[in-house]
Structure 1
């Protein structure tokens, strides 16, 4: 696939979900972050974790929120997932090996949290009629919004494993190796899924 089409698909996918770099301290997630920061400082003083671990953990929260929102389509539910992920990461901090990939570790925890919630609830939150695209942080013009809704519809036609892999790499920004660690497959499988997903989207959206 030509590079300009890959870039066009990437930019369009990126626009589906707004980026949020701050967390309101008056929300449940905000209060959890305050407690977590304090706990990390105490743990660092006691040599239970490194400063790098704590700093990177906090810095990854915006990416975790976006990853969660892509899967739920609901901001409150996404924040609950991130909160559960952070608490689980804290509880199992001793299992993280210093020098390994914290991004892949956290994304795996969050993904497993979501899968377990879906199993318990026996349902999957869907983005019906482009509702996800309608919740953009800034209202696009009508033609632009129609294009985003069309993209969302095209995403639904992808096999689940291709869609998730494409979102991990293109929207969540994971490296192929990181996505492979999260999904438990080979790097070659990740590259193949992303390529096939892009091809199918290009055909569905009549890109050339």
Structure 2
């Protein structure tokens, strides 16, 4: 396929690409940018396209990957700046951590409540809070997945009862 044919085929798919961007964004400007980036990458990497393959699928893949990469980059770049006079937000006391003496006491008390849960409930609960999925816990402990869910549920209920009593 010649460069002219390739460019013509990409141009003919532009409206299809614009429709496909609706899967990713509803913002018209962002949609136009995504189509433009996709076309630019397709033209730049024309030599990577294999003749007699699905051009539309190739363009959709480029678009999806471009969107994902931009999204991830935006997530990494999310930083907060404090433009308030005298950096108000940076200097506000942090009431949401356990860095105070009372907070440390509360944290230790919560840990004590959690650790008082029965062993057979505590192990699946701790594994779940550490990020293990239900099926991973079931495999690790060699128990059915329903039992894992049940034990985590009962551990939560037991901890909630103890914490309600603590708050009185």
Shorter-chain TM-score above 0.5? no
Higher relative contact order (CA 8 A, sep 6+): 1
Question: Of the two, which has the highest radius of gyration?
Answer: 2
TM-score class normalised by the smaller sequence: 0.3 to 0.5
- TM-score of the superposition, structure 1-length normalised? 0.34
